[in-house]
Structure 1
Amino acid sequence: MIYQASAVGSIALDLLNQNNHMRVHSIFNNGFNIVNESNDLIFVGTTKNGYFPFGVTIDKNTMHYAKEFLSVGHIVKVSRRGIDYKDFMIMLNQADLVKYDKVETGYTTAIKNVVNDFNFEKFNDSDFYPEKMSEILDALADENSDFPLKYLVGRGSGLTPSGDDMITGILYVDALDPFISEVHKNSLASYLSETVTTIVSENFIKLALKGIFSSKITELGENPSKKAVEALLALGSSSGHDTLYGIYMTLNRR
């Protein structure tokens, strides 16, 4: 069966060009992940979770059949043409190329006003209670402090642990209004190389360090609104709320 992808992120296309084979890493309702030997990741899935720099966008029907053909651990052939496994292929010849630019610095007041209308009380009795997050955020601005993000990296469960999603939120605000010491950014990049969290989180954070984020996050900055916040909150089982909490705490400590 041959299916057509509707869009492909620029990073995903580069990975497809550079590799001959990739491994199915994980499969869920709205998509699946494939990785190469270096654990560089491509997400193939629907638009429910937005667009990703390392994403290939397919419709619900294609995803339905993908789950019938693929299992975790399967090796798929990849190229600029698409993703191929036996009689199942996702073609890219009609896919729109989605390019991603680094987030540029800008005003955060409108984002803060919108985000502050939402309730984050569920974090008060968690590992991520406000006082702890404030301590981490203060330390991030101090180049002489111990590496503060070690507490968050990999903390939580799932494909993207809560602490990692919060780091993405923190890095998003930093991209808009820089405050994190370069020492701590370098420490984070180095720490990730030690396999301290999931492959999925690692890829998200590495891109966030470069100022590149998924569309669900950037849309909040481009159009600060209740609708944009609610779209982010719908991301994953808790990823959206965790990311937004990172944004909320950072904006209110700046």
Structure 2
Amino acid sequence: MNFEITDICENIFDLNFEYGRVSGVFNNCFNIITEESKMLTIFKKTQKFSTRALISNMENINGIFDDMKVINKDKKIFIDDFCFDYKNARKIKTKREILNISENIDENFLIFEDIIKPHLEKSPLFSEGIIKKKADEGFKKLYKNYKEGFKSLIGLGIGLTPSCDDVISGISAYFYLCGKNYDFNFHLKDYLEKYGDKSTTFVSKNLLYDTLNGYINDSVYNVIYSISKNKNDIKKYTLNLIDYGHSSGVETCLGILKGYKMTKNKELI
């Protein structure tokens, strides 16, 4: 079966891998992990996609399964009987510019905090248990020493993007877009390069790495943009992000809030 890749995100546009495997198949997309532990995601036709997306013209994902071998040759990706031709693919801009912060940022964050608080119980970070206990201890370390905090937090949780990784992603995105606390993303990059493959999932490592380098998906960007620029859109975009995944969205929101409070030295939740 032959399909066309119509668009590719700019940060993965040069597809120079040779081999890989399918790792994670979902309703509208599937992940590929290359021989160098890099992640790509092939989506069927969609308007919503991640920062490592290849958008195809396929209508459904039927026939794609975990651990299928992937071959990249002559600007085509081969997976069993599937062929994805990307020779004419367009480049999707995903690198974000630093935002100019509104003078109403403090007021806007109060609105944002009120919106997310009723939803925090979706996250295991707010349910009594071992994950919450370890996370509480880990974030205390993070506020004092980034490296020690990352060691305790990255990979903590369940799923393709563990809960604490989602929080750290929100912090990282806020710092990048607002031009704050460059040390955080510097140390996060160093930690991921040294320990990322062993401490968390390939999916989470790649998405964290994208975020700290400014490749931030629309759902997260729109929340931070609305807080920074237009408070009338805060609720709409925040609820949209909260609905992402089982708890990933609300944990990313929590990270955005933590990032703001870290820059203000305010009491953290």
Aligned residue for 1:230? 239
Q: Is the 8 A contact 2:170 2:252 kept in 1?
A: yes
Deviations 1:21-76 (A, max 9, x none): 321122122211112111111011257793333211236xx252x331x2222122
Identify which of 227, 252, 267 aligns with 1:243: 252
> Given residue 37 of structure 1, which amino acid in structure 2 is its aligned partner?
E
1:39 maps to 2:37: yes
Which portions of structure 1, spanning 4 or more consecutive aligned residues, are displaced by more than 4 angstroms? 46-49, 128-134
The worse-fitting range, judged by mean Cα deviation, of 154-163 and 222-231 is 222-231
**Structure 1 segment 82-97 matched on structure 2, within 5 A:** 82-93=76-87, 95-97=89-91
Higher helix share: 2
**Unmatched segments (≥5 aa) in structure 1:** none
Deviations 1:133-179 (A, max 9, x none): 76345325xxxx76212221001111111111111001011112422
Identify which of 198, 204, 212 aligns with 1:209: 212
Q: Is the 8 A contact 1:51 1:216 kept in 2?
A: no
Residues 1:206 and 1:78: Cα distance change in structure 2 (over 3 Å): same
Q: Is the 8 A contact 1:53 1:98 kept in 2?
A: no
1:107 maps to 2:112: no
CA distance in 1, matches of 2:147, 2:82: 50
**Structure 1 segment 38-187 matched on structure 2, within 5 A:** 38-46=36-44, 50-58=48-56, 62=58, 64=60, 66-68=61-63, 70-79=64-73, 81-93=75-87, 95-107=89-101, 109=105, 112-116=109-113, 117-119=115-117, 120-122=119-121, 123-126=125-128, 127-128=131-132, 135-136=140-141, 138-140=143-145, 147-175=148-176, 176-179=178-181, 181=183, 184-185=187-188, 187=190
Residues 1:95 and 1:32: Cα distance change in structure 2 (over 3 Å): same
Deviations 1:91-149 (A, max 9, x none): 33554310222441532717624421222542444545896576345325xxxx76212
CA distance in 2, matches of 1:157, 1:43: 20
> Given residue 196 of structure 1, which amino acid in structure 2 is its aligned partner?
S
SS at match of 2:25: strand
Shift of 1:86: 4.1
CA distance in 1, matches of 2:132, 2:259: 13
Aligned residue for 1:10? 10
Aligned residue for 1:195? 198
Identify which of 3, 21, 33 aligns with 1:23: 21
CA distance in 1, matches of 2:188, 2:20: 29
CA distance in 2, matches of 1:179, 1:4: 41
The worse-fitting range, judged by mean Cα deviation, of 78-87 and 234-243 is 78-87
Cα RMSD (Å): 3.0
CA distance in 2, matches of 1:19, 1:124: 40
Identity %: 21
The worse-fitting range, judged by mean Cα deviation, of 226-235 and 149-158 is 226-235
Residues 1:146 and 1:57: Cα distance change in structure 2 (over 3 Å): closer
Residues 1:211 and 1:111: Cα distance change in structure 2 (over 3 Å): farther
Shift of 1:227: 1.8
